[in-house]
Amino acid sequence: MIIAVASGKGGTGKTTVAVSLALSLDGVQFVDCDVEEPNAAIFLRPVIAEKIPVTMPVPEVDETRCSGCRTCAELCAYNALVVIGKHVLVFPHMCHGCGGCTLICPEKAITEKPREIGVIEAGHAHSMDFMQGLLNVGDPMATPIIKKLRTRLNTSKTVILDSPPGTSCPVIETVRGSDFCILVTEPTPFGLHDLRLAVETVRQLKVPFGVIINCADIGDDAVEDYCREEGIRLVMKIPWNRRIAEGYSRGEPVVQVMPELKEQFMKLYAEIATAVTAAA
């Protein structure tokens, strides 16, 4: 079973939930898909055994064959190619690696070369398999690294995907095809606003989901009212507790700071497994 942990906004506690769930189960593969700023390793302290470079294809122009026809530049929706006279300027960081310019060039003057955009690190943490993606600083293309991570999922185990924040392409790439998605929110106006966006996104992806309210003792009841009105399953509430905050600042997972919560995460997993089985 593949469980994605996502949210509409950052700072709601996605990693807190994902790490706590993983530590409450056996035979888990944990994958940190927040490749722009992965932080699960701070809490899980994995031993990294393998590093795999991630590349994407970018165009390379042979100007001895190029006629300056501008066909490639006109095709590119991202303006990664600009033709000035008979010179073609390539902007690698704007290229999405679609390969269209190579296919359409009438002179066959464009080939592709790999450009490294980041790395995948794989190893072990506690009794679980661990993977994380790391996007190179300054590079905008997170999605190809997440795609590469997904090719290495071990579906014979329970897979927990720690998603990036928001509702953009990296989140969609992480959540799509999951058996269940946990949406983590907070009982604040910002939390509710971005939860609505996350719910719309997951519904479009047709992935079953439920909501966890973190810091449930602060704010108001608007999130719970929204879930009730929309018929959304509220699967867990994590209380505001200073011990959790202090432990977090030391890099200690919630279930180590408050072991009594481990049983709740085990119960959460059982409820998710029942829901997934019923939907199958």
Task: Give the model confidence (pLDDT) of 170-227 as tens digits.
Answer: 999 999 999 999 999 999 999 999 999 999 999 999 999 999 999 998 888 999 999 9
| Same domain as 80, residue 215 | no
On whether residue 117 sits in a domain, the answer given is no
d(CA 124, CA 126): 7
Whole-angstrom CA distances from 142 to 24, 81, 174 are 29, 21, 11
Q: Which domain holds residue 91?
A: 63-108
Q: Decide: pTM greater than 0.85.
A: yes
CATH code of the domain in which 141 resides? 3.40.50.300
Q: At what angle do helices 262-279 and 14-23 cross, to 10 degrees?
A: 90
| Same domain as 262, residue 171 | yes
Q: Which of 200, 206, 258 is nearest to 226 (CA)?
A: 200
Domain boundary among 45, 74, 108: 108
As for how many domains the chain has, the answer is: 2
Please tell me the predicted confidence (pLDDT) of residue 109.
Answer: 96
Please tell me the predicted confidence (pLDDT) of residue 111.
Answer: 97
On whether residue 122 sits in a domain, the answer given is no
Q: Which of 104, 95, 105 is nearest to 56 (CA)?
A: 95
> Torsions phi, psi of 210, nearest 5?
-145, 170
| Same domain as 234, residue 201 | yes
Tokens of 211: 């909501």
| Same domain as 49, residue 69 | no
On whether residue 99 sits in a domain, the answer given is yes
Please tell me the predicted confidence (pLDDT) of residue 86.
Answer: 82
Stretches in the chain below the pLDDT threshold 50: none
Residue 117 Ramachandran class (φ > 0 left, ψ -120 to 50 alpha, else beta) = alpha
Residue in the structure block whose two tokens are 């790439």: 173
CB 43 within 8 A of CB 30: no
| Same domain as 74, residue 207 | no
Please tell me the predicted confidence (pLDDT) of residue 279.
Answer: 78
| Same domain as 169, residue 192 | yes
Please tell me the predicted confidence (pLDDT) of residue 11.
Answer: 87
Q: At what angle do helices 222-230 and 189-205 cross, to 10 degrees?
A: 20
